[in-house]
Amino acid sequence: MPELTDLSVRQALDALRRGEISSLALTQACLARIDRLDPAVHAFLTRTSDLAVQQAGAADRRLVAHRAGRDEGPLPPLLGLPLAVKDVLAVEGIRCTCGSKILENFIPPYTATSVERLLAAGVVIVGKTNTDEFAMGSSTENSAYGPSHNPWNLEHVPGGSSGGSAAAVASRMVPAAVGSDTGGSVRQPASYCGVTGLKPTYGRVSRYGLVAYGSSLDAVGAFGRTAEDVALLFELMAGRDARDATSMDVAVPAIRLDPDPSLAGMRIGVPKEYFIAGIQPEVEAGVRQAVAQLEALGASVREVSLPYTEYALPVYYLIAPAEASANLARYDGVRFGLREQSAQVLDQYKRTRGAGFGAEVKRRIMLGTYALSAGYYDAYYGQAQKVRTLIKRDFEQAFTQVDAIATPVAPTTAFRIGEHGDDPLSMYLEDVFTLPTNLAGVPGLAFPVGFDARGLPVGMQLMGPHFREEILFRIAHAYQQVTGWHQKAPLV
């Protein structure tokens, strides 16, 4: 039997069902590993050990009763599985900071639908993970509570903004975690940390209870070590929710992953616009090799073109800050979290927001407010929306020719903490390959395909048509059947 913390979601669930392990033992192994490693990795902002032990005990009672034939109904599919949740998703009664001082003591009175569905499926919540403040960033350095560290090299960032969730899964503190992705925040940290991460189709997973950043871009996604594990979580989170008007009423197919890794009949496109100057040669080589592997499994590979790719970055950095500036208006010291008292209400707003928000959040609010102001709205925001439509059409056009598109996740592997410190624009460039999917609303899956010379993971991204996540899982699962990158563990 491998170490408990080495078990994948699938393996853990099978062992729990068979009674070979208990949820309490598994949960305590996770908590002990967090105790040991988190002082160095800093993946967690809040630990919920007491709750976890209580949930694990309840899961064990149900598992025992079921095996003894005393529990009639079907067992919840994830019963007893430890899980970490990014600290931008509300869980009733547990502090939710969004990595910001302004919400330092905010305890939500309700639970995000995505998490509620996982709880109904039996998960055990071990804690809330670190994030760039309000999910704005690509490194988790923008957290008001200090950066997370990459388990493969503690001097490097884990990526962001869901860096805490990615680092927790990579360092085997938990078998799986939940995150959010507005422009790459699940896929890019998954890639930097060598784990598998999904950004679903926009509207596929309810955003209710996800603290809003860019409402037309935000998606709740999941991390695991294998595509199969991420698919298990995704299936349960997805589906229409009456509490999110943008969640779609599209059936969620049960994802069946074939043990036969053949990809015969699968058409994969490689867009020339994603192999640009400035890309780290080892990233390009790793992705090209992985594409060759997919071809060896029977997929047909062809070049495709997504001509508007170069506009994704400027378009995103108009639309996301514009929506953020509106979404963040609610933090005024009256209803939530921090309040800097003043006799004058306007002064109270100013002081609260001045003290509560960090530099990057303030920058985004200023950018967004400017882009939305009278006189500039049409020139910036309106124009960006038009170009967004062209980017979406690029994908529609490409998906008439291929079933999925394969690209790098980011131009580089994990950079050093502080490397992009005084140059926000160079940091924004890390998102150049992940932003287009959020603008188009299509799903994207990141998974490890190798390492660079410094031993840092290289990731590949698969993008698919709207609501066709199962294609991405099928391809990544086939790849993971015949390669071992996803099984490598950092020596933290």
Q: Which residues make up the interface to ligand GLN (CB under 6 A)?
A: 135-138, 161, 181-185, 213, 320, 431
SS3 breakdown of the chain: % helix, strand, coil, rounded to 5? 45, 15, 40
**Residue 182 or 461 having the CB closest to ligand GLN:** 182
Active site residue 185: yes
Give CA–CA dist 326/278, Å, rounded: 34
Active site residue 300: no
- Report the nearest approach of ligand GLN to the CB of residue 116 (Å): 21
List the structure tokens of 433: 């390959």
**Residue 23 or 185 having the CB closest to ligand GLN:** 185
- Report the nearest approach of ligand GLN to the CB of residue 153 (Å): 21
Which among 86, 138, 143, 162 is annotated as catalytic? 86
- Name 157's Cβ contacts closer than 8 Å, sequence gap at least 6: 139, 140, 141, 147, 148, 149, 150, 163, 192, 414, 415, 416, 417, 419
- Report the nearest approach of ligand GLN to the CB of residue 388 (Å): 15
3-state secondary structure of 447: strand
**Residue 91 or 136 having the CB closest to ligand GLN:** 136
Which among 161, 162, 191, 247 is annotated as catalytic? 161
**Residue 219 or 306 having the CB closest to ligand GLN:** 219
Give CA–CA dist 454/437, Å, rounded: 29
- Report the nearest approach of ligand GLN to the CB of residue 22 (Å): 36
CA distance readout (Å), 190 to 336, 434, 460: 31, 12, 10
**Residue 199 or 474 having the CB closest to ligand GLN:** 199
- Report the nearest approach of ligand GLN to the CB of residue 369 (Å): 16
Q: For residue 91, list its beta bridge partners.
A: 94
Closest CA to 423 of 490, 486, 363, 485: 363
- Name 413's Cβ contacts closer than 8 Å, sequence gap at least 6: 191, 192, 280, 282, 283, 452, 454, 456, 457, 458
**Residue 186 or 458 having the CB closest to ligand GLN:** 186
How do 196-199 and 219-224 pair as beta strands? Answer: antiparallel
Q: For residue 275, list its beta bridge partners.
A: none
Angle at 278 between CA 273 and CA 280, to 5 degrees: 100
**Residue 84 or 320 having the CB closest to ligand GLN:** 320
Backbone angles phi, psi at 91, to 5 degrees: -130, 120
- Report the nearest approach of ligand GLN to the CB of residue 282 (Å): 22
Angle at 266 between CA 219 and CA 296, to 5 degrees: 115
- Report the nearest approach of ligand GLN to the CB of residue 370 (Å): 17
Give CA–CA dist 74/240, Å, rounded: 23
**Residue 68 or 425 having the CB closest to ligand GLN:** 425
Give CA–CA dist 277/432, Å, rounded: 12
List the structure tokens of 366: 């200023």
Q: For residue 291, list its beta bridge partners.
A: none
Give CA–CA dist 236/238, Å, rounded: 6
- Report the nearest approach of ligand GLN to the CB of residue 219 (Å): 9
Q: Which amino acid is at 108?
A: P
Which among 114, 165, 180, 185 is annotated as catalytic? 185
Give CA–CA dist 318/320, Å, rounded: 6
DSSP 8-state assignment for residue 449: E
Q: Which residues are catalytic?
A: 86, 161, 185
